[in-house]
Structure 1
């Protein structure tokens, strides 16, 4: 038997897959050949997904902590015992501190609308309790906000249209590691490709050209390229007149960013800036792919604002194969309001930021956070300021429930651990943020042990607490029907995927000058915001690993073997100045914390920059990872994270 499903992981490709089942056991997993983006191929990580599903290390039963927080010692208990303890503790917290003292902490371990972060699984339950809201600031939020100020939407171009491009700028993105299906459309195009990245990545190696600006200077580079274009008289005057607002003001701003000034800011040679600007000026259509990494710094939202302006000046937004792709999530018309049911909140409540977790858990707010529900997340491994997050989770007065598949670093700090189903074991709906397809996931096999889906867990918990709101007991099928109102649900279920139509710019015009940005207290005109880390040393980039996906797969033995020991790549000039040789054990540190690594001396990074990868677990990395050095500090827009706005010192250990 073959069952259609979808990858739930935090990747733009949201692959459609096929699970082969024999005698109730999933024996094969392959990409769906019929899906126009998946085209039958999965990534090196997800090819091992069934190993995760069948792993002997998987959590199969509810557990209660018996040791100190952080020790990871638990005893097996029944579901009734787990539900009773959770019910009593939540009831007690609400009685003493109110519902806002409960924090449902959603991660991106699943992007499912029913079981994962996209639908804030369990939000109806937490609304009835009056719990605090959770804001997912770890990923793309600053860039989304920036695009909305320019375009009114974060949707951007259809990624399949890259096949029609003649020039492609891969700006701060490494699709060969993170979202490799886009590369097929790039290959189909035959376009000249330029990688813009402080690190020479696997993708850079396949491009025609690589530019390595200093991290966080992307907006300045884009303005410098626009300066070249306008100096050549290559702006599309007809498009500017008919489809944009504020061009005269923006043109003055562009004039401020001469190639010479931009060279000083970015660390790039003037001639490289001029040459790329001239290439863009004479090549239609030009497309830009920018991903989440490039906006994880102080000026990340502004950087996306400026990048979205570039195809407005050249008129590429009007040409198939032209424009910018960041995240297609803005194109999906799903009934999130019906799914979330925010009307069930008895009163307005506060919002807690995902990437300010340490701060929130250690704060003396009224009310303090007294109960934490961690769903599809591993904040010890994934959040900034690792030491503060651990300190907060170690509070004995904090009641923590973790719903998980494996004994992550965060599980070690739980009071109750609940066994969660994995993707082949439950119903879910996915929407790609790297394409325009809804993807359906049917359960293929029964869950092992006593694992329950997120939806079923909250149905049982609501029943155990005696909650009477009917919406808390909707089945998965009913939730899917409510979410997908207006879509062809029968076709989606039978074919496994369904393409949606792109959403137009709401105002119909690109906003060079944004009144919405000004009302929000931001600069109305796109500009350049420099990095903000006040520390000294090298700028540290912690990009995605080829073998982990965030911290998912961080415990997979084979993928850990392939990833090797934690390494930090340093340019030969910096290595000489620091008296470091290739293979030297080093300590990477700043005022926030430190982690151990092995130096790799290579010109794959530019001078002034060091590079490592994220996704490792603390317990497998000598007690700390790169996130020990990263600040709980916000980007310019909407509280986005600043993982790449981070300076460190590197010393021999």
Structure 2
């Protein structure tokens, strides 16, 4: 029996450290690392069964070529040599006729590894040599990252472990008990010491149920609420004038903005009672330190960047940035700074190339710009299920002149549109370097077992494609270990190989004690950099579409993470599918009554972009005028072949071209009664594992 240190690669702030037990070449146990201060021996409900997922019957194990129509999911098995030869020929042909920019390497957050995944921009040396278009990773966090950076110079805020020192905790549009639960133990510790925890969320989430107070503002009105709270702070004269004078610029201009947002006005903008805004403002004014937890979901709307900019400004007014347990925590990304240049190899790019926004996939595939996208290489992503404006994404992927390669572990909805499918390794089968964007530790993931079938690591796949293309750049053939050593240096690599993890910040870390990484070196209430970008130099409120009246589509739809899926990962795992159930919307009793709906009814949720079907749950865990669903369902497993992204808009947020998944208005109509004959049966909603759920293979 041997134990191997590893780490979870998935799109979660926790980036857990784990230990794999291997007996006779078989992984027999996976557990959270008990010695790791953040993981503390616990994994999440999704990842606990990861070894079963690795061994699943519907795992893609061999290269395949499409033999049916695009979207039909019919393939024949081929060899790796056949697959890479065909890919090489197609990429050469596209480059020769249209130029390298006609190739789009479309990478997602299926792995956040620094060797195999997104954090290391895996495959970037190959794309640079080919002159391919640059992939902009915009679906997740870019608006909030830019917004926070205009205030503090970085989105890397407070150390989440110091929430144990907070006296007031504002959980702002975040649900850590579903999406990154480890931080909550530090908050519970603070709560036991008397800290007051407030959940600010249109949905009464699992986390909100554990808070001392739940406030449910209208989706997208967060910046207005922040301004209203600061208005109360100023009314009470509770701003930290010494901290402001010493550490900030532009407060006089910002103060004028704050005074425009009285609690009475903010009550109208947010849909919250004025007295509750005042009460929380008074608590904020008098409680030090206050820690704000704000993660990616709350910035996925038209004013998302402005909202994060505002939340990072609050501790500048109250002075909380100077205390352990004070400040705001959006991410820790950017504090771990390995040798990125040596891994990305952007020096291999012969000339500047265009950037393509991943959120605009449908536009780019359908508008046929010059040059048009003629080759799409998708890895660690499932855009058919995850991208907005699902109908138009399908239209783009259906193009016969679009050569599509998908590197995958399972037969996702995107795989169905591939010309060539390549089998990808899973985390227990390859080497990687991982951290987490919610803590301050770096991990080495040692391969514990041999890959199943003919699965290859991401870098090995790109090495094979480069070889088939007869490319002679040595950097394209660096081994996985060589890339890891380039990234970390030999000394840190060897240390992590032996112990698995290392903290890279001091204990009880307080950021910005030596100044802010802004142009002025101070927290910027007035940002010249924002002004140069054509934005308001002062933090403010940008309304979202979700707060605008719409007679035809009167309901605001938000769809955060499922407790059982991670984006679309695990949405084919039978036990988790059973726990999640089919698509569901939660609706306030008044909204349900108006439409004649009861719990259990099947409804069509629709707008001009499209529709999906779901079961209704009538409950007061959402505010009136808002319905809540969850993201992640595979289209092939649900009635109607559509999920919530059939209704979401392919439109940019205010900063960085971010996604606006939660800036969405819809209407709901009943299509089936809970007692009616047209109610779909549960077994019809889900394809089981094994033969029915797998890619269809044709015998050669």
CA–CA distance in structure 2, aligned partners of residues 495 and 199 of structure 1 = 41
Counterpart in the other structure of 1:29: 30
Counterpart in the other structure of 2:95: 94
Residue of 620, 628, 648 corresponding to 2:637: 620
Instruction: Say if 1:327 and 1:433, in contact at 8 Å, map to a contact too.
Output: yes
Counterpart in the other structure of 2:128: 127
Counterpart in the other structure of 2:52: 51
Counterpart in the other structure of 2:653: 635
CA–CA distance in structure 2, aligned partners of residues 486 and 350 of structure 1 = 35
For the pair 1:61 / 2:74, whether they are aligned, the reply is: no
Shift in Å, 1:492: 2.2
Shift in Å, 1:330: 2.0
For the pair 1:287 / 2:291, whether they are aligned, the reply is: yes
Instruction: Say if 1:220 and 1:528, in contact at 8 Å, map to a contact too.
Output: yes
Residue of 562, 583, 587 corresponding to 1:545: 562
SS of match in other structure, 2:663:
coil
CA–CA distance in structure 2, aligned partners of residues 222 and 95 of structure 1 = 53
Instruction: Say if 1:329 and 1:431, in contact at 8 Å, map to a contact too.
Output: no
Counterpart in the other structure of 2:223: 219
- Provide, for residues 128-152 of structure 1, a one-character-per-residue CA deviation record: whole Å limited to 9, x for no partner: 0110000011100000000110000
**How does the TM-score come out when normalised to structure 2?**
0.92
Residue of 643, 663, 666 corresponding to 1:645: 663
Counterpart in the other structure of 1:510: 523
For the pair 1:461 / 2:471, whether they are aligned, the reply is: no
Map 1:253-332 onto structure 2 (within 5 A): 253-332=257-336
SS of match in other structure, 1:328:
coil
Instruction: Say if 2:406 and 2:415, in contact at 8 Å, map to a contact too.
Output: yes
Residue of 581, 594, 611 corresponding to 1:564: 581
SS of match in other structure, 1:402:
strand
- Provide, for residues 274-327 of structure 1, a one-character-per-residue CA deviation record: whole Å limited to 9, x for no partner: 000001111110000001110000000000000011111010000111000001
For the pair 1:372 / 2:376, whether they are aligned, the reply is: yes
CA–CA distance in structure 1, aligned partners of residues 537 and 594 of structure 2 = 42
Counterpart in the other structure of 1:20: 21
Shift in Å, 1:537: 1.6
For the pair 1:340 / 2:344, whether they are aligned, the reply is: yes
Shift in Å, 1:493: 2.2
Instruction: Say if 1:221 and 1:266, in contact at 8 Å, map to a contact too.
Output: yes
Counterpart in the other structure of 2:532: 519
Query: Where in structure 1 do 4 or more consecutive aligned residues deviate above 3 Å?
Result: none
SS of match in other structure, 2:617:
strand
Map 1:369-408 onto structure 2 (within 5 A): 369-408=373-412
More displaced 10-residue stretch of structure 1: 490-499 or 192-201: 490-499
Counterpart in the other structure of 1:433: 437
Counterpart in the other structure of 1:241: 245
More displaced 10-residue stretch of structure 1: 505-514 or 201-210: 505-514
More displaced 10-residue stretch of structure 1: 495-504 or 617-626: 495-504
Shift in Å, 1:87: 0.5
CA–CA distance in structure 2, aligned partners of residues 519 and 499 of structure 1 = 37
Residue of 610, 616, 621 corresponding to 1:599: 616
Counterpart in the other structure of 1:474: 478
Shift in Å, 1:490: 2.4
Instruction: Say if 1:420 and 1:452, in contact at 8 Å, map to a contact too.
Output: yes
CA–CA distance in structure 2, aligned partners of residues 568 and 233 of structure 1 = 44
Residue of 560, 583, 595 corresponding to 2:600: 583
- Provide, for residues 383-427 of structure 1, a one-character-per-residue CA deviation record: whole Å limited to 9, x for no partner: 000111111001011000000000000000000000000000000
Counterpart in the other structure of 1:445: 449
Shift in Å, 1:486: 9.2
**How does the TM-score come out when normalised to structure 1?**
0.99
More displaced 10-residue stretch of structure 1: 498-507 or 149-158: 498-507
- Provide, for residues 485-525 of structure 1, a one-character-per-residue CA deviation record: whole Å limited to 9, x for no partner: 49733222222111123664214310000000000010000
Counterpart in the other structure of 2:159: 158
Alpha-carbon distance change, 58 to 262 in structure 1, aligned in 2, over 3 angstroms:
same
CA–CA distance in structure 2, aligned partners of residues 373 and 489 of structure 1 = 30
Shift in Å, 1:573: 0.9
Counterpart in the other structure of 1:530: 543
CA–CA distance in structure 1, aligned partners of residues 495 and 244 of structure 2 = 41
Residue of 180, 195, 200 corresponding to 2:199: 195
Shift in Å, 1:584: 1.2
- Provide, for residues 78-129 of structure 1, a one-character-per-residue CA deviation record: whole Å limited to 9, x for no partner: 0000011001011110111010000000010111111111111111011101
Shift in Å, 1:450: 0.6
- Provide, for residues 222-277 of structure 1, a one-character-per-residue CA deviation record: whole Å limited to 9, x for no partner: 00000001100000000000000001111111000000000000000000000000
Instruction: Say if 2:545 and 2:665, in contact at 8 Å, map to a contact too.
Output: no
Shift in Å, 1:41: 0.2
Counterpart in the other structure of 1:421: 425
CA–CA distance in structure 1, aligned partners of residues 334 and 242 of structure 2 = 27
Name stretches of at least 5 consecutive residues in structure 1 with no aligned partner: none
SS of match in other structure, 2:197:
strand
CA–CA distance in structure 2, aligned partners of residues 580 and 151 of structure 1 = 47
Instruction: Say if 1:429 and 1:438, in contact at 8 Å, map to a contact too.
Output: yes
SS of match in other structure, 2:629:
strand
More displaced 10-residue stretch of structure 1: 438-447 or 184-193: 184-193
Counterpart in the other structure of 1:170: 171
Instruction: Say if 2:556 and 2:663, in contact at 8 Å, map to a contact too.
Output: yes
CA–CA distance in structure 1, aligned partners of residues 270 and 172 of structure 2 = 14
Instruction: Say if 1:244 and 1:510, in contact at 8 Å, map to a contact too.
Output: yes
Name stretches of at least 5 consecutive residues in structure 2 with no aligned partner: 672-700
Instruction: Say if 1:224 and 1:273, in contact at 8 Å, map to a contact too.
Output: yes
- Alignment length (residue pairs): 653
Instruction: Say if 2:228 and 2:261, in contact at 8 Å, map to a contact too.
Output: yes
